[in-house]
């Protein structure tokens, strides 16, 4: 499933985000930037502990902020650590939206052209995939429509069936209301 917005494309894909060959993948982080389970754990296992060490040196950060590190041994050049929750591991749609906007701003600042994102907050954060899809996709579409973004290819790389369905349904709906 794809949607063109100006010169950019948004796609919904199935798979393991750690395998994506893009300028940057996004890590669903907590504000300490320590990488434990879920997407963060998978990135650390495949990319190496250097990613976590570099992130922690930049933290802690506030929920809603993002930092950029090397991609270590990943196919991606960089990892953007999106602090979508605090140490309490709680988050919501507003925090996910703010964090997504921070990720997009950081990507543009660093002239990143291709980005892969997971469904932020749907794992340990327990946010329903439909809520996550709605706020993340709206933030991306608004960012691209505003102009001035370096991003040309944005892929939501989803591992779970329910997240894939929620993102696909939401992107179809957003594409219909251009």
pLDDT of res. 36: 87
The second-level CATH assignment, the architecture, of 2-176 is: 3-Layer(aba) Sandwich (3.40)
- Per-position DSSP letters for 37-50, written without gaps between them: SHHHHHHHHHH-HH
pLDDT of res. 177: 57
Average pLDDT (100-119) is 97
* Structure-block tokens of residue 145: 């429509």
Q: How far apart are CA 136 and CA 34, in angstroms?
A: 23
Question: Model-level pTM?
Answer: 0.95
Residue whose C-alpha is closest to residue 81's, from 112, 97, 109, 60: 60
Distances (CA, A) of 133 to 31, 97, 161, 162: 22, 10, 13, 11
Residue whose C-alpha is closest to residue 167's, from 13, 8, 4, 6: 13
Inform me whether the pLDDT recorded for 178 exceeds 70. Answer: no
Is the C-alpha dihedral spanning 30, 23, 102, 106 positive or negative? positive
Taking only the tens place, the pLDDT of each residue in 37-74 is 888 999 999 999 999 999 999 999 999 999 999 999 99
Inform me whether the pLDDT recorded for 77 exceeds 90. Answer: yes
Inform me whether the pLDDT recorded for 1 exceeds 90. Answer: no
């Amino acid at each position: 499933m794809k949607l063109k917005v100006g010169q950019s494309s948004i796609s919904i894909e199935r798979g393991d985000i750690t395998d994506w060959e893009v300028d940057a993948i996004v890590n669903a982080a907590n504000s300490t930037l320590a990488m434990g389970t879920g997407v963060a754990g998978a990135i650390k296992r495949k990319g190496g502990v250097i990613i976590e060490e570099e992130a922690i040196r930049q933290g802690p950060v506030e929920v809603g902020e993002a930092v950029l590190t090397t991609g270590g041994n990943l196919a991606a050049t960089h990892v953007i650590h999106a602090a979508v929750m605090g140490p309490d591991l709680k988050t919501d749609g507003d925090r996910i939206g703010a964090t997504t906007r921070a990720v997009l701003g950081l990507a543009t600042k660093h002239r990143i052209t291709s980005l892969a994102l997971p469904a932020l907050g749907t794992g340990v954060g327990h946010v329903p995939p439909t809520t996550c899809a709605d706020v993340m996709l709206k933030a991306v579409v608004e960012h691209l429509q505003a102009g001035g973004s370096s991003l040309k290819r944005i892929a939501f790389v989803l591992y779970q069936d329910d997240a894939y369905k929620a993102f696909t349904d939401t992107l179809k709906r957003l594409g219909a209301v251009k």
